[in-house]
Amino acid sequence: MKSLIIALGTLIVLGGCANQTPVATSCNIDVSNKLVSAIHEVEERLASGCAYHFDAYFQQLMKVAEENAAPENKQLFSEHLVRVSDAGLINKRQAKALYNRYFNVKFVSFTGDYNTCSQACPVHSEVVSNMRHELKDKERGLMHASLDQGSYYRADHLLKEAQLVLEATCRACANGDQN
């Protein structure tokens, strides 16, 4: 009787496991030094219950991309992020923010749907400081990983122009508030 209960218990436990996502033995991986394979390995782990390692994996992939710089890397990252977001591991907004932070000329940290006076000006220096940090990521993504110097210089130029225009606009907004 006792052994029957144990056998039944074991069966129930095994049956339950069969329907769950397979759990990787360890989420720590040494990714391949080829970006395509590294992305494949990372996606396998993400699907095996290691989703919470997404940020660390992304940084590992960036490192591989920088060591194997090529213009196609930009596209590989975009496709990876689309797959990961389609799988529901991150949402579409996070995927967009991440891709644009590293691989687009435009700044994620300089966006918003309210007017500049009310949205950007109260946190003007924070916006500029965030844009400076983002430029460092663009240097990695555009220049080092994708060999796209032209886009990186445009981002650098855009930051300086935005800084100048924001300074003047916010001063004009502040003077308007005083009057």
Partner 1 sequence: MSLLPNPQSVIACAILLFASTAFASPSGPVVRLFPTTVLEDIRETSQVAEEMENNLQEIIHRLDMQREMHQESLCQGADSDQGCARIAKQLGDTYLEMLNAMSERLPEMERAVTNTRQSLEKRLRSELGHRTTPTTLQNSLLGEAASTVSTTKPELRGRSGVRLSNRFKQYYNLVAAHREGPAKSLAVVAADIYLDMEEAAQLIAATQEEIGRATLMGQLNQSFGAITPEMANVVEGVKEILFGESSEIIAIPSSPTLASQTEYVSPLDM
Q: How far apart are CA 134 and CA 78, in angstroms?
A: 18
Q: How far apart are CA 170 and CA 179, in angstroms?
A: 14
Q: Are 134 and 108 in contact (CB under 8 A)?
A: yes
> Binding string to partner 1 for residues 105 to 134, with x set by CB under 8 A, is what?
xxxx-xxxxxxxx-xxx-----x-------
**CB closer to partner 1 out of 22 and 150:** 150
Query: In 48-123, which ranges are continuous DSSP H helix?
Result: 54-67, 73-86, 92-103, 116-119
Residue with smaller CB distance to partner 1, 132 or 160: 160
User: Cα separation of 65 and 175, whole Å?
Assistant: 47
CB of 158 to partner 1, least distance (A): 6
If binding is defined by CB under 8 A, does position 150 make contact with partner 1? yes
CA 18/CA 25 separation, integer angstroms = 16
Mask for 32-71, x = binds partner 1 (CB under 8 A): ---------------------------------------x
Binding residues for partner 1, rule: CB under 8 A, are 71-72, 74-75, 78, 81-82, 95-96, 99-100, 103-108, 110-117, 119-121, 127, 148-151, 153-154, 156-158, 160-162, 164-165, 167-173, 175-176
